[in-house]
Structures are given as C-alpha cells and as structure tokens.
Chains A and B, each alone.
Chain A
Amino acid sequence: GAVVSQHPSRVICKSGTSVKIECRSLDFQATTMFWYRQFPKQSLMLMATSNEGSKATYEQGVEKDKFLINHASLTLSTLTVTSAHPEDSSFYICSATIVSYNEQFFGPGTRLTVL
C-alpha cells in the first residue's frame, strides 16, 4: 500500500513553455502533498506544502507565480512550471501523507530538462 505515482517521469521542453507534473496517491487519500526539488548530488529542497482544497504554502524564495501548485482532490496534486527556463531543469519529487500519520510516501520523481 501507500503508493505514490508521478507523471511524466521525464520531460524535455523548450525554453518559455509550461510543463505540468502530476502527483497521485494511488491507494490512499492524501490530506497533504509536498513538492521537492533536487539538484545533482544535493539533498531535497522543499518547495511547497499543498493541502487539498486550499492554497499551497510556499517556502521562502520559491516563486509561487512560477511554480503553480493545485491540489484539487485527495489523490491528485499538480505542479506547473510556467515559462520554463534552463535554470528550472531539475529533478522534482512529490510526497504524500495523511494528517494523522507521521510518514511521507514519495513518488519516483520527474526529471525536467529545459533546452
């Protein structure tokens, strides 16, 4: 149980385009989802916390107009990178949890490359 999927697993796009990444909890209802960014050989950096039906809470330094997060249902959150540029190239990972549970379940990650 507690499986989280991400789609797509890999995406290459041109500079200036927008890219949407989906995060789904497959066998449980996630009250909270988290979006992370990981640069090569570094730890995960929390970008935002997303609760179903409410606005995401962004970490300091993360542009909310650049990284749009929608958590429309208890099983789906999306991250849209708007007007992507090469510096947005990174590995994006989501995780999901239930409010009463002290563990996060991670998706497999999405490799974004902006040309």
Chain B
Amino acid sequence: GNSVTQMEGPVTLSEEAFLTINCTYTATGYPSLFWYVQYPGEGLQLLLKATKADDKGSNKGFEATYRKETTSFHLEKGSVQVSDSAVYFCALIETSGSRLTFGEGTQLTVNP
C-alpha cells in the first residue's frame, strides 16, 4: 500500500533560518504529491503540490521538488518567519478522486 514518511518533529528555528522538512513516499504508481499546512485550531490548507516527476511546487516562499528517483518531496524555505509556525503534512494521491495518504505531520515553531 501507499505510505508517506516525514521527518520527526518538532522543529524549532529562529526567524530567517533555513527550513527543510523531509518527506519520502511509497506508492505503486505515479502519485501526485502535496504539502498541507495546519494552523492551530484550523483545517488544512494546501501549501503546494506537484503532479509528476521533476515538477517543483512553490508558494509563499516554500518549495518542494518531486524526486522520483529518491521517492522524495522535501519541503524547503530559505528564510522562515514567526508566522510560518504551524504543522506541516506531506501527502499523496495515487488516483484522481481517491483518498489522500498523509504523513505524520511536523510541528514547526519559529522564534523571533
């Protein structure tokens, strides 16, 4: 079956530090990959996505590249802000309209 593995958290950084949250996946086909962000007490918001190998998703300074050879989709940001503090989920969909498979989530805290 499909699975998504994220780096263990929590992650604590100072403002303007570089962020990497690792995500690797296992899938039988060619999934679409997603990063979602969840702020306290809220639902999930799509941060970025990539639908095929070598695609780069980007949004709000965050980036992730779909690496088929390493089955990875690591999230990066060059300079984090306090407002980026949230939980980040890596996820995949294998077939349109089907279920999402989520990683465990990574709590990010950015200190001023």
Interface residues of A (CB under 8 A from B): 6, 31-32, 34, 41-44, 46, 49, 93, 95, 97-109, 111
Contacts and interface: CB of A to CB of B under 8 A. Distances in A.
Contacts of B27: none
B93 A103 contact: yes
A34 B99 contact: yes
A106 B44 contact: yes
Contact of A111 (B41, B46, B95): B41
A47 to B, nearest CB: 11
Interface of B: 32, 34, 36, 41-46, 49, 51, 89, 93, 95-97, 99-100, 102-105, 107
B96 A99 contact: yes
Given A41-B107, A108-B42, A108-B43, A100 B99 contact: no
Nearest to A34: B99
Given A102-B51, A106-B44, A111-B41, A43 B34 contact: no
A46 B99 CA distance: 8
B93 A102 contact: yes
- Which of B49, B93, B99 has the most CB atoms of chain A within a 10 A radius of its CB? B99
B77 to A, nearest CB: 21
A2 B45 CA distance: 12
Among B43, B105, B107, which residue has the most Cβ atoms of chain A within 10 A?
B43
Given A31-B97, A32-B97, A44 B45 contact: no
B44 A98 contact: no
Contacts of A34: 99-100
Contacts of B49: 103
A9 to B, nearest CB: 9
